[in-house]
Amino acid sequence: MENITPRTINVPEIQKIFREKKFAEVVGVLETHQIEFKLSPYLKEKIEHELPKDVAAIANSGGGVIYIGINESKQNGQAFASSINPFDKNLVNEDSWRSNIHNRIEPQLPDNFVSFNYYDYDQGILMEILIKDSQEEPLFVHYTNGSMEYWHCPTRPGARTASKYGVTLIRQAFIEKLKRDTSPPVIPGIVRIEKKIDRINERIDKLYSSPADVFRVNQQSLVEYAKSKLNTEKGFFYIQADPKTIIELENILSKNLSKAYELISNPPDIRPMGWGLSVASSERPYPAPNRWENMNGNRKINIITDHGQIFTAGSIQRFLDWGVEDYYSSEITEFGGELINNFALVEYVDNFMRFLKDAVNKLKINADYEIRSGFWIPDDMKMGLFRPYHLGSYFKTISDQIKIKEITYQIKQRDFNKDAAHLAGGLLEVVYTLCFNETDTFPYLGNDDQGMFVQEERFKKVS
């Protein structure tokens, strides 16, 4: 590639380049929060998920454009247009694209919010997707896949799309955008920001209010409790399942009248001595005021409450990073951060879903569940997933570092008819997609007509 000096231009300037058909001048233009380049059109599942996400991200970040048919390169971590790559217009099904934008973004956008423009170039075309500013109305993207269902709020704080999940992060992203839009902050601008924040709060509260909100404080207290009990030098991974209706489990603290003690004493595992919820026989469960809990040293903790909440947390050091130190490669050195054994994480999630499914059946819990899961890691610590070579060299060896630390998905009562492998596959797909920005490959997962599932046979073969 010839020497290119990257430069920043605004949306009207790049539009002028295209309308005057001076396409060579696009080379060197940097991606920004309002300008994004794509090498090829959205195809197959990317029409359903990536297209609405990209449109919402740019709209939430002030409006802008996506240009398709532009290859990009990076210099000093910055992405810029490096060459022109026209494509066949038959690859664009405009009706399908508009339908997915219309159906998957909340609130639904008017027809003139997004416009498509085409430019002939060298026996093919280049495409421009022009997107308006969402103003004070935050746009959310709805995602469903089998039992998995959640909202996320994409933004572009820089030249990369980031999905914000969680009320605090969403509010923070929009407040930063509004402050950026109003500069210098004169009095009318401050009033405008306050009005927009009120509207944003109203929208977010409407989307996120649910019966499971009653468990939010307790969920935070369980995470804080795990922090006080576990080895936190590298942090820990946690999963909490909250029933979406208020339930009371009678006699939960009785060893004789409740199956909770039996469940937490002998949680089901894929295989013996794997990454599961089991603890040493000497580490028996003990009762707290409203729950049973047990621990495996300072490496993991399991809890069942009298409201049907199921919680587990596993330390990264000496548990979920087990075995990583046995490997060495230039990729590990170049990553320059801490690594979780991806194989271990998948097995741990699968075993949790086995435990949850048993608890729902044996404790006779009739409720939908909301799963909240994430990583508590020390500030400024870089963390990624490592895939051991001998367990599948066709995967990318190391993932991107963690982008989002907490995610959620829903399990309907009827979904407990599925096996644990599919329940775990649903959660892990969210973890891969949102936490590590992986959308093409999902290590140790398969896919069938019920959705993603953990390939449990892989784990059963490992001694």
- What is the CATH classification number for the domain harbouring 118? 3.30.950
Q: Pick the last residue of a domain from 105, 134, 163.
A: 134
Q: What token pair was written down for 449?
A: 């007509």
17 and 119 inside one domain: yes
Rg (CA), the chain: 24
Contact 400, 340 (CB under 8 A): no
- The reply to whether 359 and 450 lie within a common domain is yes
Torsion of Cα atoms, 413 then 419 then 424 then 426, to 10°: -60
Q: How many helices (H) and strands (E) does the chain have?
A: 13, 21
Is residue 182 in some structural domain? no
The answer on 231 and 335 residing in a single domain is yes
Q: β-strand 35-38 against 64-68: which pairing, if any?
A: parallel
Domain boundary among 113, 134, 155: 134
For residue 352, the Cα-to-chain-centroid distance in whole angstroms is: 19
Same domain for 118 and 225, yes or no, is no
Please indicate, yes or no, whether residues 124 and 219 belong to a single structural domain of this protein. Answer: no
The answer to whether position 117 is within a domain reads: yes
Distance CA 278, CA 300 (A): 9
- Residue 400 identity: D
Q: Does residue 145 lie within any of the structural domains? A: no
Contacts of 276 (CB under 8 A, 6+ apart): 267, 269, 270, 347, 348, 351
Domain around 444: 212-460
What confidence score (pLDDT) does residue 144 get? 62
What is the per-residue pLDDT for 246? 66
Shared domain for 111 and 236, answered yes or no, is no
Q: How many CA atoms lie within 13 A of 352 on its CB side?
A: 31
Is 151 a domain residue? no
Pairing type for strands 236-243 and 124-131 reads: unpaired
The reply to whether 120 and 242 lie within a common domain is no
pLDDT lower than 70: segments of the chain:
1-2, 136, 143-151, 162-220, 246, 248, 255-257, 289, 390-395, 463
- What pLDDT score was predicted for residue 67? 98
Q: What is the predicted pLDDT for the residue at 305?
A: 87
Q: What is the pTM of this model?
A: 0.56
Burial of residue 437 (number of CB atoms within 10 Å: 0-12, 13-18, 19+): middle
For every residue of 302-364, DSSP letters joined together read EEEETTS-EEEEEEIIIIITTTGGG---HHHHHH-SEEEEHHHHHHHHHHHHHHHHHHHHHTT
Does residue 411 belong to any structural domain of this protein?
yes
Query: What pLDDT is stored for residue 188 in this prediction?
Result: 47
Task: Say if 60 falls within a structural domain.
Answer: yes
In this structure, are strands 291-296 and 300-305 parallel, antiparallel, or unpaired?
A: antiparallel
Give 166-176 pLDDT, tens digit per residue.
455 566 666 66
Which of 96, 116, 134 corresponds to the end of one domain? 134
Q: State whether 262 and 348 are in the same domain.
A: yes
Residues 124 and 227 reside in one and the same domain = no
**SS3 track for 146-206:** CCEEEEEEEECCCCCCEEECCHHHHHHHHHHHHHHHCCCCCHHHHHHHHHHHHHHHHHHHH
**Do residues 271 and 418 both lie within one domain?**
yes
CA atoms within 13 A on the CB side of 146: 20
Q: Count other C-beta atoms under 10 Å from residue 95's C-beta.
A: 8
Residue 51: both structure tokens together: 């297209």
- Structurally, how many domains does the chain consist of? 2
Record the tokens describing residue 42, joined without a space: 């959205």
Give the integer Cα–Cα distance in Å for 291 and 309: 9
**Judgement on whether residues 105 and 226 belong to the same structural domain of the protein:** no
Query: Which pLDDT score is estimated for 212?
Result: 41
Cα separation of 408 and 430, whole Å? 8
- Report the SS3 class of residue 125: strand
Residue 241 tokens, joined: 């399942």
Instruction: Clarify whether residues 216 and 127 are in a common domain.
Output: no
Residue 374 lies in a domain: yes
Longest alpha-carbon distance in the chain: 80
Per the prediction, the chain carries an average pLDDT of: 84
Within-domain flag for 102: yes
Q: What is the number of other CB atoms lying within 10 angstroms of the CB of residue 381?
A: 15
Query: What secondary structure does DSSP assign to 285-297, as a single string?
Result: -EEETTEEEEEET
